[in-house]
Amino acid sequence: MMDDLFSGLEAAAPKRVEMADGAWLLRHHALDVSSTLLHAVDQISSAAPFRHMVTPGGFSMSVAMTNCGPFGWVTDRRGYRYQTTDPESGKPWPAMPQSFQSLAESAARDAGYPDFIPNACLINRYEPGAKMSLHQDKDEKDFTNPIVSVSLGLPATFQFGGMNRTDPVRKHVLSHGDVVVWGGPSRLFFHGIMPLKDGIHDAAGRARINLTFRHAAV
C-alpha cells in the first residue's frame, strides 16, 4: 500500500518544473534511455578514465571527471579551460555517442532552445560525500547556448541560485533520469550539488553520474 502511495505521488508530480526564467527541470526525460547512457559512460571511461582534477588553487575535486566530444573541460594549476585532447593521454577525447547528442538536443528543444548542438560533454561521477560547490558555467565564452544536465543513479540535491553567489538558492531533488536545462536569462546563475548521500542504485551502484552538455566556443 505504501508503494502505491509513493507511485501515486510521483505520478501526480509535474513533469516540467520552471526553476527560473529560462530554466527547466524535466523529470524522467532521460529515463527511457538511461541504460544506454550508462553503458556508454562505461565505454567512455574505459578510454578516458575518471580522475579527480585539481583546481587552480591546488585543491583536488571530490567529484571524479572525464569527457567526451570534440572538446573536454579540464582544470589544473594553469586554470579552467576546454581542450580537444585528454591531458593524461594526449589523445582526443572519446567521440560523443549519438544517444548523448540526441538526448541533449531533445531536452534543449523541450526547454525552449531548439538550436542547441552540444560539442562537449563533461561526465561527473559522484560517490557518497562528494559535492559541487556553487559556481557559474562561464568557460564557454559564448553564452547564447544553454546548459543541459542529466542525472543518473543516486538522487542528489541540486542548488539553483542567481547571478550572485550570495543570492538565495532553491533546492531541487534530482532523481535517476531527470534533466535540468538552463539558459537565456538564467544562463550564468550559480548552481551546485550538496554532498551526496550514501545509497545503492540498481543501475549505477553507489554513485551518481551527471552528464553536462555544453557548446564550447574556444
- DSSP states along 160-173: E--SSTTS--EEEE
- The CA distance from 3 to 193, in Å, is 28
- The CA distance from 5 to 12, in Å, is 11
Annotated binding site for Fe cation: 135, 137, 191
- The CA distance from 150 to 144, in Å, is 20
Please name every residue paired with 121 in a beta bridge, in sequence order, or none if there are none: 68, 213
From the number of C-beta atoms within 10 Å of its C-beta (0-12, 13-18, 19+), residue 32 rates as exposed
Annotated binding site: 73, 80-82, 124-126, 135, 137, 139, 165, 191, 208-214
Task: Please state, in angstroms and as integers, the Cα–Cα distance from residue 170 to each residue in 106, 162, 194, following that order.
Answer: 25, 10, 12
- The CA distance from 162 to 136, in Å, is 10
Annotated binding site for 2-oxoglutarate: 124-126, 208-214
Contact 180, 107 (CB under 8 A): no
Annotated binding site for substrate: 73, 80-82, 139, 165
